[in-house]
Amino acid sequence: MTMPYRVSSQHVTYVFGPQIRPVLEVPPQAVIVCETLDAASGRIRTQEDALTLSYPPEQGNPATGPIAVRGAQPGQTLAVRIVAIALGPCGCGRVKRGGIIFDELHPPAAVLTPVQDHTVAFKGLTFPARPMLGVIGTAPAGEAVPTFYPGPHGGNLDINAVRPGATVYLPVSVPGALLALGDVHASMGDGELNGGGLDIAAEVTIEVDVRPGLPCRRPLIETDDAWSVCANGPTLPEALRMATREMTTLLATRLDLSREEAFILIGAAGDARIGQAAQLPGLDATAYLQISKTILPSVFDGTAAPGRQR
């Protein structure tokens, strides 16, 4: 077996942008192990650090990379399969900057959570880890975007479907795509309602490939049984509206339906899910809309589900 490529956590970026020099170039179908720092860039080592450390949002959420994928050209799609996420030894959850009931609490507060054998220890409780990737994106063609923000390029999606086994499809806007990723959580509830989940360092193994362009202006996630369209907006309803609009286009295009028929199909079978709705100052909410593969088997051709009747 070919040895995977490796990118150390010394190679991080705090922005997605066309001017950021890639730290690695790989061919399509390469497997890459990315060491990722936690969302606080490894600066939290003690309970005291967790209680006192603060930094501007644009100095958090480091993303390992960027990685250039040879041959990826604007208009194509970058497929990133999350092969595995190996967690570091300790996660951290905090009440520090915000969260949906922040104004009702007495911050700061923090819990350091040792993680061993895929199990999280939380103040005497234990529960299974649910590793997921908060930040994954490609470079936009225009102005650089801090890794703190979500957008059409991906970025700080905080969507629980981005977990081992999933494939994330991102737009290629500049040659090589310039992929970067990070912000792993040992576990994050849907909505990430305290604004952080359990932040943790990790090693993320990915496989990258280049695909044709998609009829969708937002990142897509493929899991075993579903497709999800990612979206963001100043409020959760606005994020859901964007996800619905994009899924309507995708279904109409791929299943040969009118937009009205596609919207009715979403009403019948689309599952709206919350990514991040912590209401942190200046940060969009994220949402995603899932549709089963029994309805939409593939986004790359017009193949209809078996048994579909017109």
How many Å separate Cα 158 from the centre of its chain? 5
CB of 133 to Ca ion, least distance (A): 9
What is the secondary structure of 11-40 as a DSSP string?
SEESEE-TTSPPSEEE-TT-EEEEEE--TT
Q: In whole angstroms, what is the distance from residue 7 CA to residue 16 CA?
A: 17
Which helix (H) or strand (E) covers residue 182, if one does?
strand 179-187
Q: In whole angstroms, what is the distance from residue 43 CA to residue 41 CA?
A: 6
Residue nearest Ca ion by beta-carbon distance: 134
**Residue 191: DSSP 8-state:** B
Tell me which of 36, 113, 138, 156 binds Ca ion, using CB under 5 A: 156
158 makes contact with Ca ion (CB under 5 A): yes
Residue span binding Ca ion (CB under 5 A) among the ranges 91-99, 105-113, 154-162, 235-243 = 154-162
Residue span binding Ca ion (CB under 5 A) among the ranges 3-11, 167-175, 178-186, 284-292 = 178-186
- Which of 68, 87 has the CB closer to Ca ion? 87
Task: Judge contact between 16 and 138, C-beta under 8 A.
Answer: yes
- Which of 138, 156 has the CB closer to Ca ion? 156
- Which of 156, 290 has the CB closer to Ca ion? 156
Q: In whole angstroms, what is the distance from residue 9 CA to residue 294 CA?
A: 39
Burial class (CB in 10 A: 0-12, 13-18, 19+), 216: buried
- Which of 158, 284 has the CB closer to Ca ion? 158
Residue span binding Ca ion (CB under 5 A) among the ranges 13-21, 87-95, 181-189, 217-225 = 181-189
Q: Taking the chain, what is the end-to-end CA distance rounded to the nearest angstrom?
A: 47
CB of 98 to Ca ion, least distance (A): 12
- Which of 149, 169 has the CB closer to Ca ion? 149
CB of 138 to Ca ion, least distance (A): 17
Q: In sequence order, which ranges of 105-258 are alpha helices (DSSP H)?
A: 236-255
Q: Between residue 68 and residue 127, which ones bind Ca ion under the rule CB under 5 A?
A: none
CB of 132 to Ca ion, least distance (A): 10
Burial class (CB in 10 A: 0-12, 13-18, 19+), 195: buried
Task: Judge contact between 288 and 229, C-beta under 8 A.
Answer: yes
CB of 34 to Ca ion, least distance (A): 16
Residue span binding Ca ion (CB under 5 A) among the ranges 152-160, 249-257, 264-272, 302-310 = 152-160
- Which of 255, 278 has the CB closer to Ca ion? 278
Burial class (CB in 10 A: 0-12, 13-18, 19+), 285: buried
CB of 247 to Ca ion, least distance (A): 23
**Residue 96: DSSP 8-state:** S
Which of 271, 165, 272, 169 is CA-nearest to residue 224?
165
- Which of 159, 299 has the CB closer to Ca ion? 159
The one-letter amino acid code at 188 reads: M
Q: Between residue 122 and residue 151, which ones bind Ca ion under the rule CB under 5 A?
A: 134
- Which of 35, 183 has the CB closer to Ca ion? 183
CB of 61 to Ca ion, least distance (A): 6
183 makes contact with Ca ion (CB under 5 A): yes
Residues touching Ca ion: how many (CB under 5 A)? 4
Residues in contact with Ca ion by the rule CB under 5 A: 134, 156, 158, 183
